[in-house]
Structure 1
Amino acid sequence: MKAHINGTVIAEASQDELLKIEGNWYFPPSSVKSEFLEKSPTPYHCPWKGDTQYFTVVVDGEKYQDRAWSYPTPMPTAFERVGADFSGYVAFWKDVQVSE
């Protein structure tokens, strides 16, 4: 599976390494090309997953605000609900496409 925007691959991993949570594919941290992500100050707290770290995706000088997010330290009860530890896994939204 690949997360990509305008032909640039931002993350890539086999599907069995990804987690699907609430309809979104979460990529393991080691599969994400961090040079395309800038931490965003946008705050969000999910009632069952915990505090979110948003990222702005930057490709060829173009910035896509808050198009990626992660839960650096999810609430422990979320691991049971998801069935795995998803700390630091990254999901993508809108302009970033996820495909095989």
Structure 2
Amino acid sequence: MRAIWKDTVIAESSNTRIVENNHYFPREDIKEEYFKPSDSHSRCPWKGKASYFHIEVDGEINEDAAWYYPEASYAAKPIENFVAFWNGVKITE
């Protein structure tokens, strides 16, 4: 699977995990140079507290376009520290 934004592959993995129709990529399979830490957080009732990344490609920033659970709940441990995308990031095979 590939995560693409602005015609740039920002993550690629053969080991994504699908939860609620989102592909979660292992942290080691994202291309760190495109990811900038965000101060944003949200809470999922069953997965726990999410943290976010901004994605930056060619000087353009897609704010909070990637999220992950650094300390997932027991039920969501299989996706702890895996990264998922939204806000215009395309997921393709």
TM-score, normalization by structure 2: 0.94
Secondary structure of 1:77's partner? helix
For residues 94 and 20 of structure 1, the distance between their equivalents in structure 2, rounded to whole angstroms, comes to 18
Q: Does 1:91 align with 2:89?
A: no
Once the two structures are superposed, the pairs formed by residues 30-69 of structure 1 within 5 Å of their partners are 30-69=28-67
Corresponding residue for 2:23? 25
Asked if 1 retains the 8 angstrom alpha-carbon contact of 2:62 and 2:87, the reply is no
**Displacement, 1:95?**
1.4
For residues 78 and 25 of structure 1, the distance between their equivalents in structure 2, rounded to whole angstroms, comes to 14
Secondary structure of 1:3's partner? strand
Q: Which runs of 5+ in 2 are unaligned?
A: none
4+ aligned runs moved over 4 Å, structure 1: none
Between structure 1 and structure 2, the one with the greater Rg is 1
**Displacement, 1:92?**
0.6
Secondary structure of 2:40's partner? coil
**Displacement, 1:34?**
1.2
Secondary structure of 2:41's partner? coil
Secondary structure of 1:30's partner? helix
For residues 30 and 67 of structure 1, the distance between their equivalents in structure 2, rounded to whole angstroms, comes to 18
For residues 31 and 87 of structure 1, the distance between their equivalents in structure 2, rounded to whole angstroms, comes to 14
Query: What is the RMSD of the two structures over their aligned residues, measured on CA atoms?
Result: 1.0
Secondary structure of 1:52's partner? strand
Q: How many residues align?
A: 93
